[in-house]
Amino acid sequence: MSFVGHQPPPIFKRGLAPLARLFMFVALCLVLLVADLRFRYLEVVRNGLSVITYPLQMAASTPADVVRNAARYFGTLIDVQLENAELRRHQLDVGERLLRFDHLERENAELRGLLEMSQRIAVRSVAADILYNAPDPFARKVILDRGAQQGVEPGLAVVDAQGVIGQVTRVHPIQSEVTLLTDRRQSIPVSVVRNGVRGVLYGTGRGSLEMRHVLADVDIQPGDQLVTSGLDGVYVPGLPVAKVLSVNREADAFARIDCEPLAAIERSVQVLVVGRAAYPPPPPASEPEGRR
């Protein structure tokens, strides 16, 4: 073993030169990075290592929990009363709509039965609190206080009261990590409510969303509502996602469509993790293995 700038006489046993070891480690790190970022092969290693880090993480999150609970404890009575009144008003509003919704759902099921269509997919959901922003500054992610033990799975949609905020990307035993829609590497398949035009919505990394792969002559106007299309087999169809802000058709063969998320993506606190109760049947076998 030798250290940098220190040349022992050759009668002693020498390890690899420091520079050689540096290149070895750097090469190893690059392999890891490519395997993780490009191919996502390393989730097993991650889970293995998290056996060591998990107790430390739990211990480290205690101070943050204390601060959060203290803030809740010392909140004033007036705030709580105001919030309570607001919630009651909201409850009345929602309750009335729910009454109608029950009725409509029954009617819908009957009509679908008459037409011999397959039933609408069943939905299951888990309520969760957002604990904090994930510390990785290069991505937009948040941590939820529900995990695998409460039935959260990777790929489920996360919604707040107004619409979709993101997708569960990694699940720990009692926490899970959600990538927000505004992240640059996140995308979500949507359709326009008004006419059913389909497209894919991408995050821009600046807080807004962009709908890509839509031809310039397609009928989309500013103000259109976008909902999840459910064609991916992952998201539940019909969840509100965004509103079209502007459409620029001059740029290219494809229109440039800027959208604004409906949900308070970077601000919401209480969310719902929504998923299909059963996955749809796999696509026909004509496609080659391993591709979607």
Partner 1 sequence: MQPTNRSSRILLPVKLWFVYLSLFAALGLEYIPTGRTPGLPDWVALVLAFWCVREPLRIGMGVGFVFGLLVDVGLGAAMGQHALAYVVLAYLANTLARRVLWFPSWQQALHVLPLLLLAQLLMMAVRLLAGGEFPGWSYFLSSFSSALLWAPLSFLLLLPQYQPVERDDNRPI
Write out the residues near partner 1 by the rule CB under 8 A. 1, 3-6, 18, 21-22, 25-26, 28-33, 35-38, 42, 45-46, 49-50, 52-53, 56-57, 59-61, 63-64, 131-141, 143, 170, 177, 183-185, 205-206
Q: Nearer to partner 1 by C-beta: 6 or 100? A: 6
Q: Measured in whole angstroms, how far is the alpha carbon of residue 287 from the centre of its chain?
A: 27
Helix, strand, coil in percent for the chain, rounding step 5:
30, 25, 40
C-alpha separations of 211 from 64, 102, 111, 138, 245 in Å: 37, 34, 34, 22, 11
Q: Nearer to partner 1 by C-beta: 46 or 103? A: 46
Taking the complex as a whole, the smallest distance from the CB of residue 287 to partner 1 amounts, in Å, to 26
Residues 6+ apart with CB under 8 A from 221: 244, 247
Q: Nearer to partner 1 by C-beta: 141 or 276? A: 141
Taking the complex as a whole, the smallest distance from the CB of residue 284 to partner 1 amounts, in Å, to 32
- Residue 35's H or E segment, with its range, is helix 18-37
Is 183 in contact with 217 (CB distance < 8 Å)?
no
The DSSP annotation for 73-137 comes to HTS-HHHHHHHHHHHHHHHHHHHHHHHHHHHHHHHHHHHHHHHTPPPPPPEEEEEEEEEEE-S-T
Q: Which two tokens stand for residue 262?
A: 């409906």
Taking the complex as a whole, the smallest distance from the CB of residue 240 to partner 1 amounts, in Å, to 25
Q: Nearer to partner 1 by C-beta: 177 or 224? A: 177
Q: Nearer to partner 1 by C-beta: 90 or 185? A: 185
Q: Nearer to partner 1 by C-beta: 18 or 233? A: 18
Q: Nearer to partner 1 by C-beta: 47 or 84? A: 47
- Can you tell me the distance from the alpha carbon of 115 to that of 252, in angstroms, rounded to the nearest whole number? 43
- Can you tell me the distance from the alpha carbon of 167 to that of 157, in angstroms, rounded to the nearest whole number? 5
Taking the complex as a whole, the smallest distance from the CB of residue 1 to partner 1 amounts, in Å, to 7
Taking the complex as a whole, the smallest distance from the CB of residue 177 to partner 1 amounts, in Å, to 6
Taking the complex as a whole, the smallest distance from the CB of residue 174 to partner 1 amounts, in Å, to 14
Look at residues 252, 260, 177, 256 and name the one whose alpha carbon lies nearest to residue 225: 260
